[in-house]
A = this chain, B = another copy of it.
């Protein structure tokens, strides 16, 4: 019973932020949707921005935790596949929060620090994977970061197009994952394209 109202406010806010974005969502909309009084909002949240940041932060925290748990002990092509597929599934499963963030701006004053921290932690996860798998033994730390951020961007871009823009469901995850795993750069290497 305790915090029941807080939960209702968060649920309502998530829904409205996703539909209309942060700026277009009024506190009065949220409380109406949540079925509580205007003043009640400020019993649980310092401000509208406080609620917003709280929501985004905890959602991204949860995602990071999922990612951290999900990567252990992968090696070889199949494992790469599982990692990419897993990441895509996380995106697909967390459409709401990603929609909210893409709608509001990852570099917005309200989210900049939160998203920076999120991407940094994602990068760390990927980087340690790269290190563990010795994919780029000759690279220094900064070069590994470049690789890590780029790989994240690769998956993220596909996820954005299919889950946010085209609004596809998890059924496309496998198809995308398969393509991403087989991706190479530039021109056909000898024999490949000709095959």
Contacts and interface: CB of A to CB of B under 8 A. Distances in A.
Interface stretch (A7-15, A61-69, A143-151): A143-151
A183 interface: yes
- Where chain A touches its partner, the secondary structure class is helix
Contacts of A99: 107
A152 interface: yes
Interface string A97-122: 00101111111110000001001000
Per assembly, the copies of the chain total 4
Contact of A153 (B108, B157, B175): B157
Given A20-B109, A24-B109, 10 more contacts: A79-B186, A133-B193, A134-B193, A135-B184, A137-B188, A143-B179, A149-B161, A150-B154, A181-B185, A181-B186
Interface of A: 20-21, 23-24, 75-77, 79-80, 83, 99, 101-109, 116, 119, 133-139, 142-143, 145-147, 149-158, 160-161, 164-165, 175-176, 179-181, 183-188, 193, 195
